[in-house]
């Protein structure tokens, strides 16, 4: 069972920790298939939340629900509510483009645009009306500094974003997301296609970014979830192969004192 009492106590004990995203009875359907069933969770502000579980349990579907990326999938629909700082992101009159600015997305494989490094980062700000070169220069530099990439590319901003290494490309994609000043950053297995050194850089970067941003990461790497996250959500599938949230707690508790036997079996490698 989900430890709801833990969150109530945690919020009472630390008034500075606030819920950035609130998920209430979320169900996601692809046609007649129910991909997620009755998901309830509170994503804490300026913390890293990891979503773990076996393949096919709906981790990425849940992640994509947070910035309405599932809207782009034919026959997808949701029931329930997702609130971003109290605002229902699926409510009537909501600007979906603005939601995707406020909740940025970094995908599993680096996907820089076939543009220069500079233009990759400046793309979003230009889309939102920033035109002065001085403003764009400042945004590009700040975003690349935040993504721990500035020192490596500052002398080759005119080169293609696809000409740098895979790890650098992923950090470029993070800089591109940061350039539009999001509140939340979603990461769908952001290091799974990278070598160990590049993976470590991404993990270090996540820790730095969590000082200013709320981060939600999907990962199959249990060691990574244990290293980088403050909270962990454990997902499984039910008899109908629909994803369910079976346990959600502080990461240390999930990995050392899980309440659900299925969580213990998964994090210890007995299945999955």
54-90 pLDDT, tens digit each: 999 999 999 999 999 999 999 999 999 999 999 999 9
Is residue 14 pLDDT above 50, yes or no? no
- pLDDT of 18 reads 65
Mean pLDDT to the nearest integer, 177-196: 94
Secondary structure of residue 185 in the 3-state scheme: strand
- State the chain's mean pLDDT as an integer: 92
The rounded Cα 207 to chain-centroid distance in angstroms is: 13
Residue 211 lies in a domain: yes
Residue 44 lies in a domain: yes
Q: Which residues pair with 238 in a beta bridge?
A: none
Is residue 53 pLDDT above 60, yes or no? yes
Residue 57 lies in a domain: yes
Residue 81 lies in a domain: yes
Is residue 205 pLDDT above 60, yes or no? yes
Is residue 7 pLDDT above 50, yes or no? no
How buried is residue 226: exposed, middle or buried, by Cβ count under 10 Å (0-12/13-18/19+)?
middle
CATH of the domain at 85: 3.40.50.300
Tell me the residue range of the domain where 120 lies: 4-267
Band (190; pLDDT cuts 50, 70, 90): very high
Q: How many domains does the chain have?
A: 1
- pLDDT of 3 reads 45
- pLDDT of 270 reads 78
d(C-alpha 45, C-alpha 148), whole Å: 22
Is residue 168 pLDDT above 90, yes or no? yes
- pLDDT of 8 reads 43
Is residue 94 pLDDT above 70, yes or no? yes
Q: What pTM was computed for the model?
A: 0.90
Residues 6+ apart with CB under 8 A from 269: 222
- pLDDT of 17 reads 52
Residue 272 lies in a domain: no
- pLDDT of 193 reads 83
Residue 142 lies in a domain: yes
- % of the chain exceeding 70 in pLDDT: 93
d(C-alpha 233, C-alpha 222), whole Å: 12
Residue 244 lies in a domain: yes
Is residue 173 pLDDT above 80, yes or no? yes
């Amino acid at each position: 069972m989900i430890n709801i009492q833990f969150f109530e106590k945690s919020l009472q004990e630390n008034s500075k920790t606030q819920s950035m995203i609130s998920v209430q009875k979320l169900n996601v359907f692809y046609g007649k298939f129910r991909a997620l069933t009755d998901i309830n969770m509170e994503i804490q502000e300026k913390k890293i939340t990891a979503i773990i579980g076996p393949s096919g349990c709906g981790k990425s579907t849940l992640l994509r629900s947070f910035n309405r990326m599932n809207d782009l999938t034919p026959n997808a629909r949701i029931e329930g509510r997702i609130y971003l700082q109290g605002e229902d992101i699926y409510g009537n009159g909501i600007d979906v483009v603005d939601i995707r600015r406020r909740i940025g997305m970094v995908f599993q494989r680096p996907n820089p645009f076939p543009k220069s490094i500079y233009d990759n980062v400046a793309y979003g700000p230009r889309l939102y009306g920033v035109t002065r070169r001085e403003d764009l220069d400042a945004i590009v530099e700040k975003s690349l500094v935040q993504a721990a990439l500035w020192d490596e590319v500052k002398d080759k901003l005119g080169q293609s974003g696809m000409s740098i290494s895979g790890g650098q490309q992923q950090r470029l994609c993070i800089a591109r997301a940061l350039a539009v000043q999001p509140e939340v950053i979603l990461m769908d297995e952001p290091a799974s296609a990278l070598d160990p050194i590049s993976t470590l850089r991404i993990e270090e970067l996540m820790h730095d970014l969590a000082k200013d941003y709320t981060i939600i990461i999907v990962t199959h790497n249990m060691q990574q979830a244990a290293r980088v996250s403050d909270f962990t959500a454990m997902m499984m599938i039910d008899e109908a192969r629909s994803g369910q949230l079976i346990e959600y707690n502080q990461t240390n508790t999930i990995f050392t004192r899980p309440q659900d036997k299925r969580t213990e079996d998964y994090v210890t490698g007995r299945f999955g």
